[in-house]
Amino acid sequence: MSSQVSEQVFDAFLAANGASLELEKVLAEREREILQLIAEGNTDPQIAEKLSISIRTVEKHRANFRASLGLISQTDIVHFAIQQGIVSLKE
């Protein structure tokens, strides 16, 4: 799927599920923190080290927020984080 089509599908998903998600109600604080670190390009081992948690814990949090937000790929995670203002594009 092209990135343009993927973006349109993701935008439709957000619109259908309330694009103005209140992340505090959907994600635990740690899940939001991990989502941000993933979107910034950190690997699971890097995140585990930064947060002083195990890689398995990072993986579990990732699985939880992916399921609750319907995010499938790494691209979906980054796109969602940008749309929600969790991370911004570097200039």
Residue 13: HSE in the Cβ half-sphere, 13 Å Cα cutoff: 16
Residue 90 lies in a domain: no
89 belongs to a structural domain? no
Q: Assess if residue 61 is contained within a domain.
A: yes
- CATH assignment of the domain containing 56: 3.40.50.2300
Is residue 69 a part of any domain in this protein? yes
Is residue 91 one of the residues assigned to a domain? no
- Asked if the structure places residue 74 within a domain, the reply is yes
pLDDT at 59: 95
Tokens (6 digits) for 73: 């790929």
DSSP letter string, 24-43? HHHS-HHHHHHHHHHHTT--
Note the pLDDT tens digit of each residue in 20-52: 456 666 788 888 899 999 999 999 999 999 999
Percentage of the residues of the chain whose pLDDT score is greater than 90: 33
Residues 6+ apart with CB under 8 A from 81: 35, 36, 38, 39, 87
> Is the pLDDT at 5 greater than 70, yes or no?
no
Tell whether 62 is covered by a domain.
yes
- Give the chain's domain count: 1
Which domain does 17 fall in, by range?
Answer: 3-83
